[in-house]
Amino acid sequence: MNPQPHFDRSHTDDLAAFIAAGPSPYHAVASAAERLEKAGFRQVSETEPWNAEAGGKYVLRGGAIIAWYVPEGAGPATPFRIVGAHTDSTNLRVKPRPDSGSFGWRQIAVEIYGGALLNTWLDRDLGLSGRLALRDGSTPLVHIDRPLLRVPQLAVHLDRGVNESGLKLDKQRHMQPVWGLGEVDEGALMAFLAEETGVAAADIVGWDLMTHDVQPPAYLGRDREFLAAARLDNLLSVHAGTAALASVAGEALPYIPVLAAFDHEETGSESDTGAGGPLLGNVLERSVFARGGGYEDRARAFAGTVCVSADTGHAVHPNYAEKHDPTHRPMPNGGPILKVNVSQRYATDGAGRGIFAAACERAGVPWQSFVSNNAMPCGTTIGPITAARHGITTVDVGVPILSMHSARELCGADDPHLLAGALKAFLEG
């Protein structure tokens, strides 16, 4: 007997395709832009004047995208409703001098990006993705989606105590992947990528390259009630925000709905494409000014603005329940979580909680609460950064997952479309 899924698979199927097409932040924003283009959005340049025309618009910068829809009749002081997320995930990133090796093995020199669970990158078939920088200023994308690299673990026969004492990995010595045999060949990786992308190796002057697990997303469980995939943190939220924004385009709205998907959250958000940079503020201000507004209108618009920072959170782990707060134990397929931390690691306050809870009720979406165990340090998101930098009400939400920061994570298969439904209701006001 093959039990039938009890959830709407269409959104989750599309999420799986979005994740597979987005091995790097640059690919993720390109995929989001493609979906928005189909909904009538058009790219605008940061170096050109902006106009007051209604409709959907977006800005691309590196691995970040800011998109917004201006309804007919929106004034310069019309507030914004923002869904914030991030496009980056923890992984292994290629160093400036990548060709290395020893003892007849050819290897690629990598650096650890973010707080990766290092052991989950061992013995996986890894591809390579990101972008190249050419002499003419262009940045073609790279997506080698086949087994190319592997970080081999030491055999148990050579580490007899590993299951008792625990695996200890040195980030420099133990995490360098192999990709061939022979002596170190300076320039070999760039020559290979030049051939794969159809450019001249001599024209490559820089790169932003990273590894990804080539295993595709898959449903899991007896009733296929889970989704296992790389980069759920946080492409799940980027996809939900993109779907929500596209779905409200064309409606008569009291707010200007916005998607702000940033890069570099996993390393602190301090970059020109991170939430700590000026990108979002510049876009919002220019939108106000393009509609004939001034500083007073900008201040009024920001005062009425609300941001939902959507990022994955922790589902209660059945094997480590003691790590969670005893009265807050979110479950998969129970709906999005509202994240609270009184030390402002999350930006949610009572007012923000009420706004998102009301959106969930309008959408018919269940929701859960999350706080960390008092004895455990609490992670953070773009939420507090956005609230502090722009002075706008912000609430932290997300989908509960297991294995956060693993090369492959796990969520409930219902939760992605439940989050998207809640975000749509939030953007509609």
| CA 18 distance to own-chain centroid | 11
φ, ψ of residue 278 to 5 degrees: the values are -90, 0
Residue 7, SS3 per DSSP: coil
Write the DSSP string, 272-334: TTSTTSSHHHHHHHHHHHHTT--HHHHHHHHHT-EEEEE--EEPPPTT-GGGB-TT----TTS
Tens-digit pLDDT profile for residues 140-186: 999 999 999 999 999 999 999 999 988 999 999 999 999 999 999 99
Of residues 208, 217, 302, 218, the one with CA closest to residue 264: 208
Cα separation, 210 vs 318, in Å, equals: 32
**DSSP one-letter code for 161:** T
Residue 427: per-residue pLDDT: 98
Instruction: Characterise 348 by phi-psi region: left (phi > 0), alpha (psi -120 to 50), beta (else).
Output: beta
How is residue 253 written in tokens?
């709205």
Residue 350: per-residue pLDDT: 93
Cα separation, 167 vs 154, in Å, equals: 10
Residue 268: per-residue pLDDT: 96
Listed as ranges, residues in the chain with pLDDT below 70 are: 1-7
CB–CB of 308/395 below 8 Å?
A: yes
Instruction: Characterise 125 by phi-psi region: left (phi > 0), alpha (psi -120 to 50), beta (else).
Output: beta
Residue 4: per-residue pLDDT: 44
Residue 7: per-residue pLDDT: 60
Tens-digit pLDDT profile for residues 296-346: 999 999 999 999 999 999 999 999 999 999 999 999 999 999 999 999 999
Cα separation, 231 vs 209, in Å, equals: 16
Instruction: Characterise 35 by phi-psi region: left (phi > 0), alpha (psi -120 to 50), beta (else).
Output: alpha
